[in-house]
Amino acid sequence: MTLTLDVQQAAAREWFEALRDRICAEFEAIEREAGSDASFDYLAWDRTDHDGSPGGGGVRGVMKGKVFEKVGVNVSTVGGAFNPDFAQTIHGAAEDPSFFATGISLVAHMANPHVPAVHMNTRFLATTKRWFGGGADLNPPIVYDEDTEEFHARLRAACAPYGPDVYERYKKWADDYFWIPHRQVHRGVGGIFYDHLECENDTMFDRNFAFTRDVGEAFLDIFPKIVRKRMGMEYSETEKQAQRIWRGRYAEFNLVYDRGTTFGLKTGGNVDAILMSLPPEVVWE
């Protein structure tokens, strides 16, 4: 299971695991505030590379509670070699299929339809190139402009030190990426999405790693505030049913278009961890 990591790889893995611990602790604190004793169940998994050698692994964390109907917070650190066909689709892997990847992936589906669902993912990959990617986006069944503005404002603040156009570029990237073509709708109210922030030297690694950490900190700062603001609101069965229908769109995107889902399945990841993003209860009408 153990992979030999260099300094950059180890630093990225350590950060993602530490962020996982802080996020899970905050989400459990919210459950306590709601009078629930729900907590995360963790399941470690090992990955075997296609040639039978150890390929790393990860930990799947899932909690089902009073506020969080289902939330998954996963971390993984994997490595080995892509199969030749899939390698052609990965940045820097066409010439050499060897790879390393570490990251955190989070999806929260909320019990109260007034509380937005959310997705957050940040990662570090190495092929013949090294880069960071990730982002966060808000997915409310019932849209509150105030929540949308607060979420985007916090992400804008995280982007600001890295250039005057960074937020707008990554916001547009999210708007373009989280689009469901066959429905002609966006998955939610957006956020930011970025990829291929290349680390050609230590200076670039430090800058892009700092940005990725700031994205994680921004998420941990703003999302719990939105949850606490909405989680006590009353809702009707009509609103709950509307949430179930909306969740169908979310599931369609993740199963048909999401690159992270494809990456996990193509690299032999843990299926339950990969599909933890799917909502607990959903309908199609």
193-207 per-position pLDDT tens digit: 999 999 999 999 999
pLDDT at 267 over 90: no
Q: Specify whether domain 7-276 bears CATH 3.30.460.80.
A: no
Amino acid symbol at 25: A
How many residues are given for the chain? 285
Give 149-186 pLDDT, tens digit per residue: 999 999 999 999 999 999 999 999 999 999 999 999 99
Q: Looking at residue 1, what is its pLDDT?
A: 47
Q: How far apart are CA 147 and CA 263, in angstroms?
A: 31
**How far apart are alpha carbons 132 and 123 in whole angstroms?**
6
Token pair, residue 204, equals 């670039």
Task: Supply the DSSP string of 110-159, one letter for each residue.
Answer: ESSTTSPEEEEEEEEEESSSEEEEEEEEEE-SS--HHHHHHHHHHHHHHH
Alpha-carbon torsion (216, 220, 221, 226), positive or negative? positive
Q: What tokens were used for 114?
A: 């007034």
Cα(205)–Cα(199) distance, integer angstroms: 5
For the residues 223-238, what does the mean pLDDT come to? 98
**Residues 269-276: contacts with CB within 8 Å, 24+ apart?**
269/47, 269/58, 269/76, 269/78, 270/45, 270/47, 270/57, 270/58, 270/60, 270/76, 272/43, 272/60, 273/45, 273/58, 273/60, 273/72, 273/74, 273/76, 276/60, 276/62, 276/70, 276/72, 276/74, 276/107
- Pairing status of strand 190-198 against strand 185-186: unpaired
So where are the chain's domains?
7-276
pTM above 0.75, yes or no: yes
pLDDT of residue 188: 96
Residue partners of 257: CB distance under 8 A and separation at least 6? 180, 181
CA 131/CA 74 separation, integer angstroms: 20
Q: What is the pLDDT of residues 94-107, one digit of tens each?
A: 888 889 999 999 99
Average pLDDT, the chain: 94
Catalytic machinery residues: 119
Q: How confident is the model at residue 2 (pLDDT cuts 50, 70, 90)?
A: low
Which pLDDT tens digit goes with each residue over 18-56?
999 999 999 999 999 999 999 999 999 998 887 778 889
Strands 41-48 vs 54-63: parallel, antiparallel or unpaired: antiparallel
Q: What is the pLDDT of residues 8-18, one digit of tens each?
A: 999 999 999 99
**DSSP 8-state secondary structure symbol assigned to residue 161:** G
